[in-house]
Structure formats: structure tokens, C-alpha cells
Amino acid sequence: MKNIVLLGPPGVGKGTQSKMLSERFGIPQISTGDILRKAVSDKTEMGKKAKVFMERGELVPDEVVIGIIDDRIKNDDCKKGFILDGFPRNVNQAEELDKILKKKGFPLNIVLSIDASENEVIRRLGGRRSCKECGEVFHIFFRQPKNAGICDKCGGELYQRKDDKEETIRGRLEVYNRETNPLIDYYKKMGKLRSVSGKGEIKEIFSSLCKLVEEGC
């Protein structure tokens, strides 16, 4: 099995890299952010609960996201493994994940961390544009669509997520530093953590991550 956690500050490219890793290794990418955004747009009970927290850049309550993960990794497509993108986000979630995996008899093979400075994160998140229809992510500097404002994949309209706006970005970074950064030590102590710099080209970062997965799983 290849059971992988991908860590890193918001905007570092976790979504892009985990989608590429998912294709490369034939295991699903599980993004709690994507699942929650879908619930918000479908106006489900969970979506209604999550919306306020997400728009403020705060973490959705632990029991909601833990429930999502517990449910999702039961699916057959997780038999060969999975990539968790955006979960866990704090130590309590990490401890709950350990319990869920233990109960299922699954190992956690490797925790990949993509590192980036705070300034870099602000530059990246501020330029991010997402497709209203399919969620594909573009960037005004790093990944421009062929036609401005239009998704290459499905022709949908591109927009700036409310939580990618400047004032929310600062809040998200504070949340990251306070809640998520302690996971680096948590997984270092477990001997699971492997880090790469988020500075280079998407392809370079991807090839470093693949190497680590091949060595570590």
C-alpha cells in the first residue's frame, strides 16, 4: 500500500502535486478542501455547516473532517493506498487519523512536506484562480489559462475563491502556523517526514516527490 499524507502551507501546490501523484501511482487523491467545497455548492447539511468557517479561512470543526476521511478511505479505490491532501490540519486530526488507520490495519507510509516561505505563499495564493465549474486551479503568473478568465479543461468561468483574497490569506497563514505547522514535528518524531522545497518548477518538485514515494513506500 501507498498511504501518503501531503503537508504544506496553503498555496504551495499540494493540490497540483497530489493530483499528479495520484495519476502516477494509481491511488486516489483525497482533498478535504475539495470535498467540503462540493458540499457547500451542493448545499448539503455538512456544506451549510462548513461554509462560514471556510469563508473566514478558519478550520472546519474536527469531527466533520474526521468523519469525511473515515468514510472515504473505506472505499474500494483506496485498497492500494491514497494521498491525503489538506488532512490532517492539526495534531488532534493527526491523532485521529492514526486511530482510524490502526483500526483498519493500514500503515501510514510517508508524510511529504512541501516547504515555502510566508512571502512566497502570499504571492502564490493571491494569484490563484479557480474554475467555477470543475474546480481546476490556474495562476495569473505560474499557470495562465490559454484564454484569460476561462478554464482550459471545461470552458468554465475562472474566479478568485473568497478564501484566496488578501485579507483571508493572512488569516489562513496564521491558522497554518498555529495549527498545522506543529504536524511537522509530530511526523518527524514518528520518523515519517520527508521534505522538499516548494520553490522550483512543478515538474522538478514532482520528480523529487516521486523519488521519495518510491523509496519510502
Q: Is 25 in the site for ligand AMP (CB under 6 A)?
A: no
The verdict on whether residue 78 carries a ligand-binding annotation is no
Contact residues for 199 (Cβ-Cβ < 8 A; gap 6+): 116, 120
Q: Answer yes or no: is 105 a known binding residue.
A: no
65 vs 110, which CB is nearer to ligand AMP?
Answer: 65
Residues 6+ apart with CB under 8 A from 189: none
Determine, following the binding rule CB under 6 A, whether residue 65 of this chain makes contact with ligand AMP: yes
Tell me if 89 contacts ligand AMP by CB under 6 A.
Answer: yes
Out of 1, 16, 38, 53, name the contact with ligand AMP by CB under 6 A: 53
Report which residue type is found at 85.
Answer: D
Q: Kindly report the number of other CB atoms within 10 A of residue 215's CB atom.
A: 9
Q: Which of 7, 30, 60, 209 binds ligand AMP (CB under 6 A)?
A: 60
In the complex, minimum distance from the CB of residue 14 to ligand AMP, in angstroms, rounded to a whole number? 7
Residue 5 engages ligand AMP in binding (rule: CB under 6 A): no
Cell numbers representing residue 148 in the block:
484569460
- Within 8 A by CB and 6+ apart from 1, the residues are 79, 80, 81, 106, 107, 109, 217
Angle 47-49-50 from CA coordinates, rounded to 5°: 65
Residues binding ligand AMP: number (CB under 6 A): 17
Grouping H, G, I as helix, E, B as strand and the rest as coil, residue 138 is strand
* Cα 183 from chain centre: 14
Q: Strands (DSSP E) along the chain, which ranges?
A: 2-7, 29-31, 81-85, 110-115, 128-131, 137-139, 158-159, 193-197
Find where cell 465549474 sits: 133
Q: Between 74 and 211, whose beta carbon lies closer to ligand AMP?
A: 74
Residues with a known catalytic role: 14, 89, 128, 161, 172
Per CB under 6 A, does 33 bind ligand AMP? yes
Q: Are 62 and 51 contacting, i.e. CB atoms less than 8 angstroms apart?
A: no
26 is known to lie in a ligand binding site: no
Task: Identify which of residues 87 and 186 has a Cβ nearer to ligand AMP in the complex.
Answer: 87
Would the annotation count 210 as a binding residue? Answer: no
Of 108 and 207, which has the nearer Cβ to ligand AMP?
108
Q: Is 196 in the site for ligand AMP (CB under 6 A)?
A: no
Q: Point out the residue whose Cβ comes nearest to ligand AMP.
A: 33
Contact 210, 24 (CB under 8 A): yes
- Residues annotated within the binding site for ATP are 11-16, 128, 137-138, 200
* Site of interaction with ligand AMP (CB under 6 A): 10, 32-33, 36, 53-54, 57-60, 65, 86-87, 89, 93, 163, 172
